Amino acid sequence: MGSSGINAEYMGSSGINAEYMGGRQIFTVAPHAGVAATGFLPDCRTISNIARKEAANYKDYYARDIPGHVLADRIALYVSQRTETFWYRVFGASTVLATYDEKGPRLFMVDPAGETYQYYAVAVGKGRAQAKVKLEKLDLAAMTCRQACVEISKIMHGVHDEVKDKPFELNLTWICEESKWQHRRVPDEIAAAADADGKKAADGSDSDDDDDDDDEE
């Protein structure tokens, strides 16, 4: 499948991006690249616009799509500049970049300090610690992107606290063979089925926890 992960108010990916809704935070910045961000929404949009501009400029100058690592480095440069001068406000957003180039599907994360790293799977935002633990248990290399959609949905619903957290709508995008290696929204029927499976798994987990509490009493 390539890379995968979870992104947004909870948690991004070269295989799949998932988003917690509080405003749409997954952006297509080039046919072969998508950005998912969490944090201050205007900053998320600003960073996506920067990525879109850099991708377009590279395409105009070199007549080829910008490689994933080059785009990640250019985004990181803009973000890091905000930390080096007192007259700029630091970006309050973490960004996950999913791309497909001659090296295949690749995943990068740019943090608010302007540091960028390549990942196989990554989670950012609220709930990232729990999500990372769950991601590490998945054998993503053996999964199709459709299967990964279900697993990511389970993680999203599993880390969501219905009492403390806002209601959310699951949004998924991917770059895979089914999307012809372009950044596209996951078809509604696939996303809806994954969402339903995630809710079912979370409800089952909650029931098990309640049973355990009853047994202890």
Digit-by-digit pLDDT tens for the chain (217 residues) are 544 444 433 333 445 565 544 447 899 999 999 999 988 989 999 999 999 999 999 999 999 999 999 999 999 999 999 999 888 899 999 999 999 999 899 999 999 999 999 998 898 888 888 889 999 999 888 888 999 999 999 998 888 877 677 777 888 999 999 999 999 999 999 999 999 999 999 887 655 554 444 455 5
How many other C-beta atoms are found inside a 10 Å radius of the C-beta of residue 129?
A: 9
* Residues 63 and 210 sit within 8 Å (Cβ to Cβ): no
| Alpha carbons 154 and 88: distance in angstroms, whole number | 39
CA Rg value for the chain: 18
* Residues 26 and 36 sit within 8 Å (Cβ to Cβ): yes
Dihedral angle sign, alpha carbons of residues 122, 47, 183, 10: positive
- Strands annotated E in 42-198: 93-101, 104-110, 116-119, 171-174, 184-185
pTM confidence score? 0.83
pLDDT at 13: 41
* Residues 36 and 7 sit within 8 Å (Cβ to Cβ): yes
Q: Enter the tokens of residue 203.
A: 């409800």
* Residues 122 and 107 sit within 8 Å (Cβ to Cβ): yes
Backbone angles phi, psi at 144, to 5 degrees: -85, 165
* Residues 107 and 98 sit within 8 Å (Cβ to Cβ): yes
* Residues 135 and 121 sit within 8 Å (Cβ to Cβ): yes
Backbone angles phi, psi at 78, to 5 degrees: -60, -45
